[in-house]
Chains A and B, each alone.
Chain A
Amino acid sequence: MSAHEPVIGVEIHVQLSTRTKMFCGCELSFGDPPNTHTCPVCLAHPGVLPVVNEEAVRRALLIGLALGCEIAPRSIFHRKNYFYPDLPKAYQISQFDIPICGRGEFRALREDGSELVVGITRAHLEEDAAKLTHAGGRRAGAAESVVDFNRGGTPLVEIVTEPDLRSPSDVALFLRQLRQTLLFLGVSDCSMEEGSMRADANVSIRPVGSQELGTKTELKNMNSFRFLERGIEAEIARQEEIVAAGGRVSQETVHYEPDTGHITSLRSKEESHDYRYFPEPDLVPIAPDPAWVEELRAGLPELPLPLRMRMVGEMGLSAEDAEVLTERPELVAYFMEAAALADPKACANWIRGELRAQLREVGVEPWQSKVTPAHVAALVGLLDAGTVTVPAAKEVLAEVIASGGDPADVVESKGLGAMDEGDLAAIVAEIIAANPDQAQQLRDGKDKVIGFFVGQAMKGTGGRADPQSVQRLVREAVRGD
């Protein structure tokens, strides 16, 4: 066991999916031709002024409330100064010492049912920079770089955690569940791939038992949870190696190369910028009406963690069911509607199992498909009543996916109803008669051969035979022979 433990904190940038930008009326756009969503304000023409997007403030408050943050009665914007072509004003309007959301706490649930508690330092509003594309893909030595200002000025909320995380897997778990919460709030698309959610990790190690923090490095801009987890693993290993060799970790920004698994240094903190923060004189403080904040608090949706606990505790779902079903708010709504009409556990199994598996082939999510939650409940009802067998139910589902028809009607029209016990017994008798060798093997105790009979029965009935019944009937017939 390592004599060191990792100490990790994360900073998450979340692009808010508002209609317009943070400080001007330009629409947000993804994938539109470059520089088509710009105006004098977001291009920083001489004489322009920023105006705060109220919807962005509302969403920042929702995030703060969901993370249990203290909401500042009065917060202010600051200018963060630095020259870079992606920043047309040469300063970013951000928040500094008085962010809109102060201390909070986020609770996540591990697979083993234990709770992971992560302190939130702050969440603040700021604007995104424009997008730079470097010819050849790399910044250093690029022959030329081009700027797309469409992204410039997109509202961002930056969430900063305390250094409360102790393992790369906890970081990934925290981020996944945080993302889920943000999706439930409807504030952002939270796509790591498209960059609407970006995470940096501050990583340090210290001797187990020590309370002091070691020198940290900042792992920048990972575009997936998996890469971030691997990157942190690699960085911890690198730091452990340095310490083991008697060296000292130096404070720097590092980058993880997913292809090689290597950590490279981006820049040393010693040559880092002095951002010369000062209060933004072009904006007045954000002082949300307390009544509005309370209204937002009261209107928060049921968040993933309490919801999952309710699913497990009250609805009899497994922790895994609950985690899968709370991935997306749309899926939760879908499941809840079905679960109100039929056995929740069975609905959960069908939705996360067969329904998603079949729909994946056509690239559709349950809530987008022709299968309504009521259809799922109906199917579960038919199974429960013994009207259809499991294999037949899968066939019924395929038909409902294709046609959107009612499951009971599909059973009727396709003749997929479970077979009468007497008819099935007759078919079983025929199969045994036709396969005396296998029947003998079964009598001799080779129990595995039962599968052969089930398969034959399914083939002979077009899947309408209930496999359990077939097994029972075969055993009865063989034994009674």
Chain B
Amino acid sequence: MGLRDLTAAGQIAAIRAGETSSAELVEAHLAAIAADDVDAFLAVDAEGARARAREIDAMPERPPLAGVPIGIKDALSVRDVVTTSGSRMLEGFRPVYTATCVARLEAAGAVVVGKTNMDEFAMGSSTENSAFKNTLNPWDHGRVPGGSSGGSAAAVAERQVPWSLGSDTGGSIRQPAALCGIVGMKPTYGAISRYGLIAFASSLDQVGPFARSVEDAALLLRHTVGRDPMDSTSLDWPGEISTPTATDLSGMRVGVVDELMGEGIEPGVRAAVDAALGTVEELGGTVVPVSLPSALSGLATYYVLAPAECSANLARFDGVRYGPVAPAANLLDQYETTRGDLFGPEVKRRIMLGTFALASGYYDQYYGRAQRVRTLMVREFADAFEKVDLLVSPTSPTVAFPLGDRTADPYAMYMADVCTIPVSLAGLPAISIPCGLSDGLPVGLQLAGPAFSENALLGAAHALEGALAFDTRPPGLVT
């Protein structure tokens, strides 16, 4: 087993044991990125990473993360490193500041090696909306890695980094984690500062970890959560994210969401999830059916609220203060040409949808109504968690689909997030872990809990991970 096969926790232990160094690990991963055949990265900061690794190796006392490399979704601002959010609108843009969550990880001793590919402005479920390139699924290069954080997921599955950060608005961490056979977590809304995360839909966006083990996800979470004075919506984290050690689910009541197990769920996915539910019971958990009627309205609600917010969030991109600008005769022409030329079709579609939903005369019918459904959904989840400790469902209704399969059909693409969106709308934490294969492709199991239940979720995920013993190595991968 090579260095790159180690989990992040394993790599930290190896460094501490003197078996390797940050410099050696960074070099090994940079080499893997250079030999990349899944196109996971948009920008690689080889020199910066090497310099930082040397610095950490020279420290008399190593920081907690000891100099292990990490990949950062291109939606997160990293000072002086090109940050595009997958858009031509920010081609070549070098931010003047670093996102709080990235700064915290750097301070804890993580080494940023580069920025990962994504759907433009995090809008998409396959990473095919990236303005720059497609990322391939490490399990099958003819298929998508999921999205929008597809680069972060593929890079971890491909062992180009042991872990990475993504962002999740309606499923953008959990769904690609599922499709790439790794662990991905969206924490409680407010758990991780959004300062420096290029906004898609502010009331839904959350940063979170990708990893090849539940333990690594917990470790990454531990070093990113907590109140940030730069983000008013960030929260004081109660206590600490602990290292998950649970090996059973005794006494745990596990709810299966009826509405997310029926129509639209691929048989292979359904079978893998059913098998995982069997494992839940073997581990001492009780499986009970739960109904969340409003979950079926999730997609419709989301596709009013998220575009509404994005129509305002993306209005700042006008070519005036940063990024490329289209030549124009006057101001209006400059706005129109710059935005017309540099935004991709999916981004434009959502800006138009959102603008319409907020228009005077339509506001109440669309935005107002969607907010009311969202409130209802929050209540239904709260009621459900009176009866069960956690809720499970498939993460994605299907396994990874072929590249190009859904690009012409936005609605089919939107369906990829049908299971993840309700949790996002309720602002709750959820984790996706690989639970099996369907036709040789990974299937993800989503576990969701009440607000701030991350420790319990990670514990349950850890117990299941042990029992399911899923091999995260894509077939044919050479390390």
Contacts and interface: CB of A to CB of B under 8 A. Distances in A.
Interface of A: 40, 43-52, 79, 81, 83, 85, 88-91, 274, 276-278, 281-284
B196 interface: yes
B198 to A, nearest CB: 4
7 A-B pairs closest in CB distance: A90-B315, A281-B203, A276-B358, A281-B202, A46-B198, A47-B77, A47-B196
Interface stretch (B95-103, B239-247, B286-294, B378-386): B95-103
A397 B87 CA distance: 73
Contact of B202 (A40, A45, A277, A282): A282
Contacts of B230: 49, 51
Nearest to B335: A83
Greatest chain B CB density within 10 A among A47, A51, A52, A283 is at A47
Interface string B318-331: 10111000000001
Contacts of B321: 43-45, 88
12 contacts: A45-B95, A45-B322, A47-B99, A49-B230, A50-B232, A81-B311, A81-B358, A85-B331, A90-B312, A274-B360, A278-B309, A284-B232
Interface in B331-360: 331, 335, 355, 358-360
Given A274-B360, A278-B358, A45 B232 contact: no
B90 interface: yes
A47 B199 contact: yes
A80 to B, nearest CB: 10
A397 to B, nearest CB: 54
Given A85-B331, A91-B315, A276-B363, 14 more contacts: A45-B95, A46-B90, A47-B194, A49-B230, A81-B315, A89-B315, A89-B316, A90-B315, A90-B318, A276-B355, A277-B358, A278-B309, A281-B201, A281-B233
B399 interface: no
Contacts of B315: 81, 83, 89-91
B359 A47 contact: no
Contacts of B175: none
Contacts of A46: 77, 83, 85, 90, 93, 95, 198-199, 316-317, 322
Interface residues of B, number: 44
A281 B425 CA distance: 13
B316 A281 contact: no
Contacts, number: 99
Contact of B229 (A51, A283, A284): A51
A83 B85 CA distance: 22
B269 interface: no
B367 to A, nearest CB: 6
A88 B317 CA distance: 9
B180 interface: no
Contact of A44 (B90, B202, B316): B316
B272 interface: no
A91 B99 contact: no
A238 to B, nearest CB: 29
A317 B113 CA distance: 77
A210 to B, nearest CB: 29
B350 to A, nearest CB: 15
A295 B85 CA distance: 47
A51 B367 CA distance: 25
B311 to A, nearest CB: 8
Nearest to B205: A281
B195 interface: yes
A430 B203 CA distance: 95
B76 interface: yes
B37 interface: no
Interface in B66-88: 75-77, 83, 85
B231 interface: yes
Nearest to B199: A47
A79 B309 CA distance: 10
B321 to A, nearest CB: 6
Contacts of A50: 232
A50 B358 CA distance: 22
Contacts of B96: 40, 45
B202 to A, nearest CB: 4
A55 B98 CA distance: 27
Contact of B316 (A51, A90, A277): A90
Nearest to A23: B232
A277 B318 CA distance: 20
A52 B229 CA distance: 10
Given A47-B77, A90-B318, A278 B198 contact: no
B303 to A, nearest CB: 16
B195 A47 contact: yes
Interface in B168-199: 194-199
Contact of A47 (B95, B309, B320, B358): B95
Given A44-B321, A88-B316, A89-B316, A283 B85 contact: no
B214 to A, nearest CB: 29
Contacts of A276: 311-312, 355, 358-360, 363
A50 B202 CA distance: 12
Contacts of A48: 195-196
Contacts of B355: 276
A48 B196 CA distance: 6
B448 interface: no
A283 B194 CA distance: 12
Nearest to B320: A85
B153 interface: no
A282 B195 CA distance: 10
Contacts of B95: 40, 45-47
Contacts of B359: 274, 276
B121 to A, nearest CB: 10
Contacts of B85: 46
Given A40-B96, A274-B360, A49 B312 contact: no
A411 B330 CA distance: 72
Contacts of A83: 315, 318, 335
Interface in B299-314: 308-309, 311-312
Greatest chain B CB density within 10 A among A81, A274, A282 is at A282
A207 B66 CA distance: 81
